[in-house]
């Protein structure tokens, strides 16, 4: 597609979303301008705040990369939330180990690896349910989300509860040396940023420039015909689910080791669902994903300013995100309809 | 009761029906017979109001009427029994029976259902789930629903395909009974035997035109003769290779996929052969091809490549939805079809794609997405995707939708690339194509091979008898 | 192309407006302080009590200005942590930060470490005692044991069935302490005033798992209260931040059931269902806030662990009493009199309910005969007491 067309699309989406949200705000008697300024000031106008944005961006981008794989394979992986939670559990499992004798850096790497495995396992379960059990991945994923949520609640109130306590607030903090290293004046671990950038580049390489990526695409677009090319669509779907789940799990691992430093019930922070919106708005393409993630992260991190400075409920940022995605889908739909019409 | 006078139907330039006239009388079963594409289904769609006619008139009790919508058709009592039952598989028999009635009392409806069952000698449990029933039983349920709704003119589309002999007898009994009660019945079929058993009169359609009309007693030879074109005596292709070693062996293969499935099919394909599969649509040819390629696993029996068939290719009839991957470009298809390294660069497969585009004269560039190609180009692309070392080529309707030139080019290409150690198996609805291109012919009827002959040893008459089930001796 | 130009024009105007506006932001105040509330600011409970005290500060201590954010918990604000919010408040000029929940313990400690120039008050925590806190972090709490004793007393005086339900939040030392205090108050009324057998008093705790309802995570307090009432408990004492117990009791009264509830935390909590409310033990954070913020403003900040008593001369004096008990409209005259006597004997020290012999739930000895508990023993109560039903940890 030509760049001009892409630009036009972006402009159309933003104008549409902006006007919809502005209209809504004016109906509520709030100035859209102040909201915009507040959101911007709360996200990008200071280094610290940008750090907060990054701490949302990292797990969100990881989930989105995972979703790119499953969407390419034609799968609606609604189970991302559960996969994030499982990844968090996997990381916590390693970080709670006593007397391993391993240096903290090794233990942290092991924890991240374990989170990838745990998330991948959860993705694989949804994949197995689909390919073997004939359960649609949407229902399988939703079911597994509940199972994962149940598991984390059980762990927090059961085997992993704090001494003398029974609280849903979470497990004990990990010892300081098991927090991922954050330089003075930073709020986000540089290692996590590097990790997510590598993961994104790999995703981009695999999906856009590899035999495997092409096979995923083929199996997703037309599973029946892909078999004529020697592709086993079920196997490809299964692998996409494992990778997708693994990356979501990695997001959970980052949440545990870099953000909360413990396991809490809402460890996924809803990034799984948010990532679905991101990838939909990106039109299932790889390149726009990190930018849209950044935009959504700005909205999420900046939204906290709304109640602080304006006493407006921060869920407004959710409305803005929703308006963006709806406008995006509308514009894609219109353009596609036009193309079909010609 | 209902009369069609000079009914015509055009789809664009294509004339699907041309001045077809027929009368369906009360207390009479009227058969409609013809090969694929003769215009049977168009006629039925017009009668049930799903499409409107382009010319001609309907008379209902000698009064001119219009059928603009399915509602109009239902109003005058036209009821249609489709090949695929229109029911709700998850619901019970009784629930399905109650659908569409104003009287929603389960007690009344249960009584009505059991009355109809007794009348026709059907044995249906009102509580069973419809998905657990056989096709024949679902048909019975559907039939009773139509009668309950007061159908006076019944249209049946190939009602005996996929049902057991016992159920066929039950169905025929019910139809005769309905006829005696004054119902007018229109029976669409390609089985001469059925027409003979059941019908009072028969109309033969060919290429959208009336080709013949008979009353009892029927003259079968005449019927066959009017059903099929008389073709110029065509020459089968020169046998390039002598049939050699066995390539593919079917041993008592049974499958229940599709309308008729496969019914204990045994045959051996040898190298050097070009095998044409003939038969009415859905008689087992496509299941045979898909099983041969490995897309379908047989329920029983064995398919084996006697000599190591390392590679085979399959080109399905629906090229874009089954054979190619819309959304991918021509180059991406070529990358997929060839084993290459894990990383794709901007050069991967480019040379091969350009070659293919040139040799196969595909109208497009390497970056054209395949959904933008036309039928002939799609077929040429599919042919170009078959790697050179492929031995066994399986094709379904290889020239469907192609103009004469493209079709000729396709066959020229196929014959040219056939190697002594390879074979081609293709299914086609077109006798002419089969007679002209194959060296051996297999005729499918209801899931079985009813005729297996070298092309040289058969003729057009024998083929037409075989596909209509007249020649049921196993080879 | 035209639309593009238009877009750029609007962008330029937007930027222009933004800068002109941003300069007009930020009214001057000498001492802004931040308040992080775990629940909504209007919860008729724990967070509202803090919110209103914070508002009051602006009057009591001229020059202060409250910047607040409520619903600070991972379920309501996914991905947002306490240290992040502290960064925000500090960048808005806050010089002192109050974190009002036990749940913020780790976050407050971490934030205090990264912002050594800022003063921190962590409500209900004990990092100062355990020595985990830096010098810029203090703890503040009221002696709610007394309020809970009064609640237990009122409950046992009013109960017809002798079955008292306690809607507990999560289990930790604080909640064990307060639940035990309520039980001691109830047992005192039951055995000493009503002269009944202690064995006939049922006192059961059901924990929901957090300070308030998080759908899908905690047990639902509404359901828990309902099941209490359905199994014959006629007074429900709430230990959670919100008012579900009172709401349900109000509904049940309308259905004709003779049940009551005792809410918690906020002086105005009874207004939700006055007819069903026997009274409310509440926190008044004004004295504590005034002392700590006042000190910090005048440069006299020192690390403290404040566990403030009620003002026994007048426990409902909003200027001086950190803990109060406001009797409800539905409280009978006789009970009111009994309560006054009870309060008087607590006030003059003639009655200390944490006096032996007292056993733990598992039968081991907590306090021997005539021995009174130390502050440390009460603060860190390791188990529920004998006679109470419900999980201890």
- What is A39-84 written as a DSSP string? HHHTTTSSHHHHHHHHHHHHHHHHHHHHHHHHHHTT---TTHHHHH
Q: Are C229 and C237 in contact (CB under 8 A)?
A: no
For the record, the structure tokens of C163 come out as 């079955």
CA distance A225 to C162: 74
Does pLDDT of C21 surpass 50? no
Provide CATH 1.10.3470 ranges for chain A.
55-303
Contact (CB<8Å) A308/C88: yes
Q: Which CATH number fits domain C145-277+325-389: 3.20.20.70, 3.40.50.2300, 3.90.650.10, 3.40.50.300?
A: 3.40.50.2300
CA distance C391 to A165: 10
- Per the model's pLDDT, the better-predicted residue between B170 and C282 turns out to be C282
Contact (CB<8Å) A221/B345: no
Percent helix / strand / coil, chain C, rounded to 5: 40, 20, 40
For the record, the structure tokens of B305 come out as 């490549």
CA distance B322 to B318: 6
For residue A232, what is the nearest residue in chain B, using CA coordinates?
A: B295
Measured between CA atoms, how close is A342 to chain B, in angstroms? 13
CA distance C279 to B255: 78
Nearest by CB to residue A265, choosing from C92, C207, C217, is C217
A115, B300, C138, C311, C393 from C288: Cα distances, Å: 45, 84, 11, 12, 30
CA distance A150 to A144: 10
Instruction: Map residue A12 onto helix, strand or coil.
Output: helix
What does the pLDDT look like over C34-71, one tens digit per residue?
999 999 998 999 999 999 999 999 999 999 999 999 99
- Check if A167 contacts B (Cβ < 8 Å): no
Choose the mutation target among A3, A150, A165 for the interface with C, i.e. most C CBs under 10 Å.
A165
Nearest by CB to residue A304, choosing from C68, C88, C218, is C88
CATH fold of C31-142+286-308, please?
Answer: Rossmann fold (3.40.50)
CA distance B154 to B183: 7
Other C-beta atoms within 10 Å of A325: how many? 19
Contact (CB<8Å) C80/A168: no
Q: How many residues does chain A have?
A: 342
Q: What distance lies between CA B407 and its chain's CA centroid?
A: 21
Residues 6+ apart with CB under 8 A from C192: none
Q: Among all chains, which residue has been given the structure tokens 């939330």? A: A81
Provide CATH 3.40.50.2300 ranges for chain C.
31-142+286-308, 145-277+325-389
What does the pLDDT look like over C333-350, one tens digit per residue?
889 999 999 999 999 999
CA distance A187 to B361: 61
Residues 6+ apart with CB under 8 A from B68: B49, B52
CATH fold of A55-303, please?
Answer: ABC transporter involved in vitamin B12 uptake, BtuC (1.10.3470)
Q: Which of B44, B133, B150 is nearest to B88 (CA)?
A: B133
* Stretches in chain A below the pLDDT threshold 70: 1-2, 337-342
Residues 6+ apart with CB under 8 A from C384: C176, C179, C180, C183, C205, C360, C361, C390, C392
Measured between CA atoms, how close is A280 to chain B, in angstroms? 18
CA distance B41 to B36: 9
Q: Is the peptide bond before B151 cis (omega within 30 degrees of 0)?
A: no
Measured between beta carbons, the chain B residues lying within 8 angstroms of A72 are none
CA distance C229 to C356: 32
pLDDT of residue C16: 42
What are the structural domains of chain B? 2-227 (3.40.50.300), 228-311+387-475 (3.40.50.300), 329-386 (no CATH)
User: What does residue C166 show for φ and ψ, rounded to 5 degrees?
Assistant: -115, 115
CA distance C69 to A275: 26
pLDDT of residue A308: 82
Measured between beta carbons, the chain A residues lying within 8 angstroms of C83 are 187
Q: Which of B333, B358, B362, B331 is nearest to B347 (CA)?
A: B331
Kindly provide the residue ranges of all beta strands, DSSP E only, lying in chain C, ordered along the sequence.
31-36, 64-69, 96-99, 119-123, 137-142, 163-168, 202-207, 235-238, 260-262, 279-283, 305-308, 323-327, 358-359, 365-367, 388-389
Q: Which of A274, A255, A251 is nearest to A265 (CA)?
A: A255
Nearest by CB to residue A37, choosing from C7, C21, C173, is C21
Torsion of CA A315, A316, A318, A324, to 10 degrees: 180
For the record, the structure tokens of C341 come out as 């006597």
For the record, the structure tokens of B315 come out as 């080109």
* Apex B83 CA angle, B80 and B89, nearest 5: 95
Q: Please state the ipTM of this predicted complex.
A: 0.84
Instruction: Map residue B364 onto helix, strand or coil.
Output: coil
pLDDT of residue C178: 97
DSSP per-residue string spanning C69-101: E---STTTSTT--HHHHHHHHHHTT-SEEEE--
pLDDT of residue C319: 92
Cα atoms in the 13 Å half-sphere on the side-chain side of B326: 9
Long-range CB contacts for residues B24-28, cutoff 8 Å, separation at least 24: B24/B153, B24/B184, B24/B185, B24/B186, B25/B1, B25/B184, B26/B1, B26/B182, B26/B183, B26/B184, B27/B179, B27/B180, B27/B181, B27/B182, B27/B183, B27/B184, B28/B179, B28/B184, B28/B185, B28/B200, B28/B201
Q: How confident is the model at residue C171 (pLDDT cuts 50, 70, 90)?
A: very high
Per-residue pLDDT of chain B (475 residues; tens, 9 = 90+): 788 899 998 877 778 888 999 988 999 999 998 876 788 888 888 888 888 888 888 898 888 888 888 888 888 889 998 877 788 888 899 998 988 777 778 888 899 999 999 988 888 899 888 888 887 888 899 999 998 888 899 999 888 876 777 888 889 999 999 999 999 999 988 788 888 889 999 999 888 888 889 998 888 888 888 887 665 555 666 666 676 788 888 999 998 877 678 889 999 998 888 999 998 877 889 899 999 988 888 888 988 875 555 578 899 888 888 889 998 999 999 998 877 778 888 888 888 899 999 988 888 888 888 988 877 788 889 989 988 888 889 998 888 777 777 788 888 888 888 877 889 999 988 888 888 899 999 999 888 999 999 988 888 888 888 888 776 544 3
Measured between CA atoms, how close is B334 to chain A, in angstroms? 10
For the record, the structure tokens of B189 come out as 């079929």
CA distance C34 to C141: 18
CA distance C163 to C236: 9
Q: Do chains A and B touch (3 or more CB pairs under 8 A)?
A: yes
Q: Are C294 and C62 in contact (CB under 8 A)?
A: no
Q: Are B411 and B437 in contact (CB under 8 A)?
A: yes
CA distance A33 to A38: 8
A89, A287, B465 from B233: Cα distances, Å: 76, 62, 17
CA distance A260 to A252: 10
Q: Are B35 and B223 in contact (CB under 8 A)?
A: no
Nearest by CB to residue A167, choosing from C7, C67, C210, is C210
For residue A175, what is the nearest residue in chain C, using CA coordinates?
A: C106
Does pLDDT of C323 surpass 60? yes
Query: Subunits with at least 3 CB pairs below 8 A relative to chain C?
Result: A
Instruction: Identify the contact set of chain C against chain A, taking CB-CB distances under 8 A.
Output: 3-4, 7, 14, 17-18, 21-22, 67-71, 74-75, 77-81, 83-85, 87-89, 91-92, 102-103, 106, 170-173, 207, 209-210, 214, 216-218, 382, 391, 393
Contact (CB<8Å) C88/A269: no
Long-range CB contacts for residues B315-318, cutoff 8 Å, separation at least 24: B315/B379, B315/B382, B315/B383, B315/B386, B315/B393, B315/B394, B315/B395, B315/B396, B315/B398, B316/A228, B316/B396, B317/B286, B317/B396, B317/B397, B317/B400, B317/B427
pLDDT of residue C1: 46
Instruction: Map residue C219 onto helix, strand or coil.
Output: coil
Nearest by CB to residue A164, choosing from C70, C92, C173, is C173
Measured between CA atoms, how close is A335 to chain B, in angstroms? 16
pLDDT of residue C12: 44
Choose the mutation target among C79, C169, C221, C380 for the interface with A, i.e. most A CBs under 10 Å.
C79
Residues 6+ apart with CB under 8 A from B155: B44, B47, B48, B78, B79, B80, B81, B185, B186, B188
């Amino acid at each position: 597609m030509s760049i001009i067309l892409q630009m036009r699309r972006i402009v159309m989406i933003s104008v549409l979303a902006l006007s919809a949200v502005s209209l809504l705000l004016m109906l509520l008697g709030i100035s859209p301008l102040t909201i915009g300024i507040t959101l911007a000031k709360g996200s990008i106008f200071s280094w610290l705040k940008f750090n907060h944005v990054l701490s949302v961006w990292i797990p969100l981008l990881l989930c989105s990369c995972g979703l790119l794989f499953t969407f390419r394979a034609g799968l609606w992986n609604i189970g991302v939330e559960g996969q994030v939670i499982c990844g968090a559990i996997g990381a916590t499992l390693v970080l709670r180990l006593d007397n391993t004798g391993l240096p903290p850096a090794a233990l942290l790497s092991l924890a991240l690896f374990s989170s990838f495995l745990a998330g991948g396992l959860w993705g694989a379960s949804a994949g197995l349910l689909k390919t073997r059990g004939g359960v649609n991945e949407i229902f399988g994923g939703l079911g597994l989300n509940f199972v994962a949520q149940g598991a984390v609640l059980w762990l927090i109130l059961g085997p992993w509860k704090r001494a003398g306590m029974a609280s849903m607030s979470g497990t004990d903090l990990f010892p300081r040396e098991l927090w991922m290293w954050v330089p003075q004046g930073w709020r986000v671990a540089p290692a996590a940023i590097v990790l997510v950038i590598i993961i994104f580049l790999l995703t981009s390489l695999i999906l856009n420039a590899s035999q495997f990526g092409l096979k995923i695409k083929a199996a997703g677009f037309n599973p029946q015909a892909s078999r004529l090319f020697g592709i086993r669509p079920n196997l490809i779907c299964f692998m996409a689910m494992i990778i997708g789940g693994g990356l979501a799990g990695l997001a959970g691992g980052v949440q545990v080791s870099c953000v909360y430093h413990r396991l809490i019930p809402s460890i996924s922070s809803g990034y799984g669902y948010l990532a679905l919106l991101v990838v939909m708005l990106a039109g299932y393409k790889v390149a726009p994903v990190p930018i849209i993630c950044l935009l959504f992260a700005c909205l999420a991190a900046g939204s906290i300013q709304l109640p602080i400075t304006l006493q407006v409920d921060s869920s407004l940022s959710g409305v803005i995100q929703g308006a963006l995605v709806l406008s995006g889908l509308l514009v894609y739909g219109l353009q596609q309809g036009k193309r079909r019409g010609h | 009761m209902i009369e069609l006078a000079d009914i015509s139907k055009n789809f664009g330039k294509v004339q699907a029906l041309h001045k077809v006239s027929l009368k369906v009388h009360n207390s009479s079963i009227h058969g409609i017979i013809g090969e694929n594409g003769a215009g049977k289904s168009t006629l039925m769609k017009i009668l049930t109001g799903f499409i409107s006619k382009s010319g001609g008139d309907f008379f209902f009790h000698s009064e001119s009427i219009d059928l603009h919508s399915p509602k109009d058709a239902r109003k005058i009592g036209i009821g249609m029994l489709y090949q695929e039952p229109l029911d709700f598989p998850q619901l019970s028999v009784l629930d399905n029976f109650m659908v569409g009635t104003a009287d929603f009392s389960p007690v009344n409806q249960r009584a009505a259902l059991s009355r109809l069952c007794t009348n026709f000698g059907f044995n249906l449990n009102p509580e069973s789930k419809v998905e657990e029933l056989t096709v024949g039983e679902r048909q019975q349920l559907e039939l009773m629903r139509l009668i309950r709704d007061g159908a006076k003119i019944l249209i049946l589309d190939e009602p005996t395909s996929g049902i057991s002999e016992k159920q066929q007898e039950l169905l025929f009994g019910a139809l005769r009974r309905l006829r005696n009660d004054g119902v007018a019945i229109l029976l669409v079929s390609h089985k001469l035997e059925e027409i003979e058993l059941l019908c009072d009169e028969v109309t033969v359609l060919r290429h959208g035109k009336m080709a013949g009309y008979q009353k009892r007693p029927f003259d079968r030879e005449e019927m066959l003769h009017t059903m099929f074109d008389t073709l110029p005596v065509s020459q089968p292709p020169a046998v390039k290779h002598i049939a050699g070693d066995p390539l593919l062996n079917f041993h008592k293969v049974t499958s229940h996929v599709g309308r008729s499935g496969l019914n204990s099919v045994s045959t051996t394909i040898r190298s050097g052969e070009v095998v044409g599969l003939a038969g009415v649509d859905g008689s087992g040819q496509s299941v045979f091809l898909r099983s041969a390629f490995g897309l379908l696993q047989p329920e029983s029996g064995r398919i084996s490549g006697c000599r190591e068939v390392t590679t085979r290719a399959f080109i399905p009839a629906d090229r874009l939805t089954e054979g190619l991957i819309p959304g991918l470009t021509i180059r991406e298809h070529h990358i997929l079809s060839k084993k290459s390294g894990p990383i794709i660069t901007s050069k991967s497969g480019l040379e091969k794609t350009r070659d293919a585009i040139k040799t196969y004269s595909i109208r497009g560039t390497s970056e054209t997405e395949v959904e933008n190609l036309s039928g002939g180009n799609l077929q040429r692309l599919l042919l170009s995707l078959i790697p050179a070392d492929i031995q066994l080529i399986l094709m379904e309707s290889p020239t469907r939708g192609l103009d004469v030139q493209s079709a000729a080019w396709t066959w020229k290409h196929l014959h040219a690339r056939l190697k002594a150690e390879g074979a081609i198996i293709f299914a086609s609805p077109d006798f002419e194509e089969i007679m002209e291109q194959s060296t051996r012919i297999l005729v499918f009827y209801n899931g079985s091979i009813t005729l297996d002959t070298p092309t040289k040893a058969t003729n057009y008459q024998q083929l037409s008898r075989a596909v209509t089930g007249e020649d049921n001796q196993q080879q | 192309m035209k639309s593009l130009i238009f877009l750029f024009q609007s962008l330029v105007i937007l930027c222009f407006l933004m800068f002109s506006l941003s300069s007009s932001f930020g009214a001057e105040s000498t001492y802004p302080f931040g308040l992080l509330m775990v629940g909504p600011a209007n919860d008729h409970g724990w967070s509202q009590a803090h919110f209103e005290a914070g508002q009051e500060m602006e009057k009591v201590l001229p020059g202060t200005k409250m910047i607040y954010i409520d619903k600070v918990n991972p379920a309501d604000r996914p991905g947002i942590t306490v240290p992040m919010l502290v960064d925000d408040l500090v960048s808005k000029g806050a010089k002192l930060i109050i974190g009002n929940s036990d749940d913020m313990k780790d976050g407050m400690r971490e934030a205090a470490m990264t912002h050594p120039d800022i003063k921190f008050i962590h409500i209900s925590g004990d990092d100062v005692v355990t020595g985990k806190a830096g010098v810029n972090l203090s703890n503040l709490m009221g002696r709610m044991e007394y309020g809970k004793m009064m609640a237990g007393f009122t409950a046992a005086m009013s109960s017809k069935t002798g079955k008292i339900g306690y809607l507990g939040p999560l289990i930790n030392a604080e909640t064990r302490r307060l639940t035990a205090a309520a039980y001691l108050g109830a047992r005192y009324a039951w055995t000493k005033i009503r002269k009944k057998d202690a064995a006939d008093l049922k006192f059961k705790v059901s924990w929901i798992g957090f300070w308030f309802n998080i759908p899908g995570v905690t047990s639902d307090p509404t359901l828990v209260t309902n099941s209490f009432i359905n199994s014959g408990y006629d007074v429900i004492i709430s230990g959670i931040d919100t008012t579900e117990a009172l709401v349900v009791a109000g509904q049940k009264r309308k259905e004709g059931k003779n049940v009551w509830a005792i809410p918690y935390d906020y002086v105005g909590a009874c207004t939700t269902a006055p007819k069903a409310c026997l009274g409310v033990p509440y926190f008044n954070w004004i004295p504590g806030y005034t002392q700590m913020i006042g000190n910090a403003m005048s440069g006299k900040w020192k690390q403290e662990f404040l566990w403030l008593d009620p003002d026994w001369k007048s426990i409902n004096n909003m200027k001086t009493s950190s803990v109060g008990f406001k009797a409800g409209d539905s409280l009978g005259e006789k009970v009111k009199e009994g309560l006054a006597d009870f309060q008087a004997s607590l006030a003059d020290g003639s009655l200390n309910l944490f006096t032996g012999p007292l056993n733990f739930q598992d039968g081991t000895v907590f306090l021997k005969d005539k021995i009174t508990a130390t502050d440390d023993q009460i603060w860190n109560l390791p188990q529920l007491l004998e006679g109470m039903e419900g999980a201890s940890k």
